[in-house]
Chains A and B, each alone.
Chain A
Amino acid sequence: MNYETVVGLEIHIRLATATKLFCGCANRSGGVPNSRVCSVCLGLPGTLPVLNARAVSLGLRLAAALGADIPEVSIFARKQYVYPDLPRNYQITQWDPPLAVGGALVGGVGGDPWRVPLRRIHLEEDAARLTHRAGADTRIDFDRAGAPLLEVVTEPVLRSGAEAERSVRALQRLVRWLEVSAARPEAGDLRCDANVSVRVRGSAALGSRVELKNMNSSRGVRLAVAYEAMRQEALLAAGGEVLTETRTWDPDRCETVLLRAKEDVPEYRYLPEPDLPPLRITAAEARPALPEAPWTRERRFVSELGLTQEHAAVLTASRAMADLYESVLAEGASARNAAQLLTGEATALARERKTPMVSLPWQAPRLARLVDLIASGVVPAARTRELLVAILDREADPVEEVERRGWTVVIDQDLLGPWIETVLDRSEVQVAAYRGGKRGLLGWFVAQVVTLSGGRADPGSVARLVAARLSERA
C-alpha cells in the first residue's frame, strides 16, 4: 500500500507587544511568578477585558504579509473549559469571523517554489504557566495568562515532516522580519501543534486525524510528524485502526505518546464575548505598509544579484541582515563578494563574540571598502578577520589600516623580484630538483617567498614569476 501523509499546522505566536492582550500588565516572560498580574488578567469578579491596539495592528501586519483576506468585522468568543491555567475557566479567543482568512506561506527560490495555503489567523489570549510535580500540588504562574497570541492555521496540505519544518521556519522568519514577534521557540514565543493523518495515495477521503502537541522546535516538528506518519502507516498496514486522539511528542524517546483519547474531547461551549463589541477594521488598517517580503528579497538576491541559494538564505534570515547587506552594496561593493564576506568571516566573528551579527557596529562604507580590498587581491584573505576586528573595535578604515599595518599584498614585479632572487639563490638544490622535473616544488618556492616577505607577497603573482624565472634560467 502506498500511503500519503496529510499534515496541517496550528502555530501560536506570542506577539511583541509591551502589554497583555486585555490588560496593562507587562507582556514579558521570566521573573518572579505572579508579579505581572492584575485583577483583570486574573479574571476576578467584576473585571472586564480591554483590547490592546498594538496586538491588533501586529496581527493585521502579519495577515497582510501573508496575503490573507481581512474581514471588516471579526468577533471575540469565550472558549469554555475548566483547567487550572485558565483564570476565568474560559479563554477569550476569536470565532467567526476571525481576524483574517486565507493567505499563504511561501518560500523556495529558483525553480523550487512552494506554497502553503492558510485557513485562518486569529487573536487569542494565552493561558497561565503550570508546573506539575509528582506527589505535590500543581503550581500556577499567571504572569503568562492573558499574553497576546496570534494563531495561524494552515490548510492540511503538507505532506511530510520536512515540509512542516520548513513552513514553521518560514513563518518564524516572517514574524521576526515584520517585528510581529521575537518567535523564539525556546522562550515559548512560537508553539506548534500538528494534525497528522495518513491515507492511501490517490484516495480523496482523509484518515483519522491525530493531534500532536509539545513539539518545541521546527526540528521537533519534523521528527514528530515523521514518526507519527510512520506509526499510523504501520498500524494500518497491520490491519489496525488509527484512532482520533491527541498525542504528545517525547523528544527524549523520539516517539509520540497518547495524551487524550477521543472520548475526552471537550465541549467548548463557544459564546460570543459579550464584554467586547465586534472588532471593526478600516480599509486603511487592512492594508498596512509592509517591508519587502523575505521570500521576495531572497528570490531577488538569487535572480538579480546572482547569489547562491545558500548565501541568499543566510542573508535574508532577518530583515536587519538583508538591510545590512544591501547597505554594503549601496556603497559600491560587488554583490557576490559582499555576500561572501558577510556570510563568512563576519558571521564567524559575530558567533565568536556571542553577539547577533546585526547588533555589531558595522559601518557599511567600511565593509564595502574591505570587500573591494579583498576582491582586488590587495589584501590577503588571511587578514580579513583582523580587519573586521579593526572596523568594529577601532572604527578603522580598512584601507588606512592595511597601509598602517603594511599588509598590502605585493604584486608588483619590481618589489617581488628581489625576494624571489634571494630565495632562489639560497635554494640551489630545490632549483635543480624543479628543473629536473619536480614541478610540485613551485609551491615550496612560493611559500618561502611569502614568508620572506612577511606574508605580503601575493602567492599567485609569486608563482607566476618564479615559474617564469625558473624556466628562463637555464
Chain B
Amino acid sequence: MDQNLARIAQVERLAHLDLDDAERRLLADRLERLLAAVAVLESSIVSAERTLRGTCPRREDEPAEPAGGNPLAGALQDADGSVLTPPPGGRSPGHD
C-alpha cells in the first residue's frame, strides 16, 4: 500500500495534477483495474514483438504561410511578443 501511495504521489507529480483524498481513493481503485489489465497482458502468450506498420510521409522543405488566424491569440504576451509564464521552479529536465 505504501508503495502504491508513493507511486500515486509520483504520477500526480508527473502529470501535474493534485488530487484530494477522495479522488485519490478513486484513482487507487482505477489503478487496480488497470493493473488487472496489465496482468492479463503479461499472462498472454503473445511475445512482446511489435509489427511496425506504415511509412512516415515526408514533406518538401519549403516555407509555408500558416493558414488560419493568430495561433497565440489569448496568450499572455509581453510588448516584444514573448509569451510570459511564471519562472520554472526547477531546471529543465531535458533541455537547457
Contacts and interface: CB of A to CB of B under 8 A. Distances in A.
A53 B57 CA distance: 8
A280 B60 CA distance: 16
A233 interface: no
Contacts of B64: 19, 23-24
Interface string A80-103: 111111100001000000000000
Interface residues of A, number: 64
B52 A37 contact: no
A139 B71 CA distance: 17
Nearest to A213: B96
Nearest to A31: B81
A51 B63 contact: no
Contacts of B71: 37-39, 42, 44
A348 to B, nearest CB: 38
Contacts of A137: 78, 84-87
A267 B93 CA distance: 9
A138 to B, nearest CB: 5
A415 interface: no
Contacts of B10: 267
Where chain A touches its partner, the secondary structure class is: loop
Nearest to B10: A267
B61 A19 contact: yes
B94 A268 contact: yes
A127 interface: yes
Interface in B1-41: 10, 14, 16
B88 A34 contact: no
Interface in B37-96: 52-66, 68, 71-72, 77-78, 80-88, 90-96
Contact of B93 (A25, A81, A142): A81
Contacts of B66: 23-25, 37-40
Residue among B53, B64, B82 having the largest count of chain A Cβ atoms under 10 Å:
B82
Contacts of A268: 93-94
Q: Which 4 A-B pairs have the closest CB atoms?
A: A24-B64, A277-B54, A266-B93, A38-B66
Contacts of A33: 80-82
A75 B85 CA distance: 33
Interface of B: 10, 14, 16, 52-66, 68, 71-72, 77-78, 80-88, 90-96
13 contacts: A18-B61, A24-B63, A25-B63, A34-B72, A34-B82, A80-B14, A83-B92, A91-B95, A137-B86, A213-B96, A259-B96, A265-B93, A277-B53
B55 to A, nearest CB: 5
B59 A81 contact: no
Contacts of B90: 260, 264
B82 A139 contact: yes
Contacts of A80: 14
Contacts, number: 143
Contacts of B59: 24, 50-53
A17 B23 CA distance: 48
Interface in A242-276: 246, 248, 259-260, 264-269, 276
A278 to B, nearest CB: 4
A296 to B, nearest CB: 29
A217 interface: no
B60 A53 contact: yes
Contact of B56 (A32, A51, A260, A264): A51
Given A34-B72, A51-B56, A139-B82, A24 B62 contact: yes
Contact of B61 (A35, A40, A54, A276): A54
B56 A276 contact: yes
B88 A83 contact: yes
Given A37-B71, A278-B52, A280-B55, A248 B96 contact: yes
A277 B52 CA distance: 8
B10 to A, nearest CB: 8
B87 A53 contact: no
Nearest to B72: A34
A91 B92 CA distance: 12
Contacts of B56: 51, 76, 276-280
B88 A32 contact: no
A50 B54 contact: no
Contact of B94 (A54, A55, A266): A266
Nearest to B69: A39
B8 to A, nearest CB: 14
A83 B96 contact: no
Nearest to A39: B71
Nearest to B92: A83
